Chain A
Amino acid sequence: DVKVTQSSRYLVKRTGEKVFLECVQDMDHENMFWYRQDPGLGLRLIYFSYDVKMKEKGDIPEGYSVSREKKERFSLILESASTNQTSMYLCASPATNTGELFFGEGSRLTVL
């Protein structure tokens, strides 16, 4: 039973390209989060959204933007990809009553 789906498991992009990472949840949750994970640094929060068209910066928003036009979909956008954005990107959504966080499988992005 798939709950959080990320559109691409692996992507390879060139420096300067615009990159879209898509995340869809089928649990009717209000909140959605984007993290990136790098060796030795753990999971770091990029952006989160607690309602349609609402967004909040996380710990490392620089170089990223997000879009939440529909409740089920939260997109992470790299306007001009750079090599230091090579990383694993994880989308997550918490259950409203328990706070349990459901993660997608992750999108591994390589920027050349």
Chain B
Amino acid sequence: DAKTTQPTSMDCAEGRAANLPCNHSTISGNEYVYWYRQIHSQGPQYIIHGLKNNETNEMASLIITEDRKSSTLILPHATLRDTAVYYCIVRVVDRNTPLVFGKGTRLSVIA
């Protein structure tokens, strides 16, 4: 799996958009970008994934640059419950390849 680089921590005001960046400059053509988050003392939770087009679901939006070397996860209206560690992972959709997690970004949403 290609490696990713994320900031160690970020703060965001409640109600504002949280924009979490991720660099994956060595991503291969068949690798997807996945985002997970982990709220304290719980297992990681899937958020969204994409290959090259921007994606949106009920939780977040994923913006992938045209060269696919970086991406941004957007939480449009952050709440206190969005405080968590967010992991950006790139991988092929190969059922025999486990996800490799980095250190992630610790997002703190502040009232």
Residues of chain B at interface, number, CB under 8 A: 22
Question: What's the least CB distance linking A30 to chain B, in Å?
Answer: 6
- List chain B residues, Cβ under 8 A from A98: 49, 93
* In the complex, per-residue mask of A45-56: 1 if CB is within 8 Å of any chain B CB, else 0: 100101000000
Q: Tell whether, in the assembled complex, residue B104 and residue A31 are in contact, meaning their CB atoms are under 8 Å apart.
A: no
Q: Tell whether, in the assembled complex, residue B32 and residue A45 are in contact, meaning their CB atoms are under 8 Å apart.
A: no
Q: How large is the interface on A (under 10, 10 to 19, 20 to 34, 35 or more residues)?
A: 20 to 34
The answer to whether the Cβ of B99 comes within 8 Å of any Cβ in the partner chain is yes
The answer to whether the Cβ of A94 comes within 8 Å of any Cβ in the partner chain is yes
Given that A30-B95, A33-B98, A48-B98 are contacting pairs, would A101 and B46 also be in contact in the complex, using a CB cutoff of 8 Å? yes
Q: Tell whether, in the assembled complex, residue A100 and residue B49 are in contact, meaning their CB atoms are under 8 Å apart.
A: yes
- Chain B: residues with CB nearer than 8 A to chain A? 32, 34, 36, 41-46, 49, 91, 93-96, 98-104
- Chain A: residues with CB nearer than 8 A to chain B? 4, 30-31, 33, 35, 42-43, 45, 48, 50, 58, 90, 92, 94, 96-106
Additional pairs, 10, CB under 8 Å, beyond known A92-B99, A100-B34? A31-B95, A35-B101, A42-B103, A43-B101, A50-B95, A58-B98, A90-B44, A99-B91, A99-B99, A106-B42
A-B residue pairs in contact (CB < 8 Å), sample of 13? A35-B101, A90-B44, A92-B43, A96-B95, A98-B49, A98-B93, A99-B93, A99-B94, A99-B99, A100-B49, A101-B44, A104-B43, A106-B43
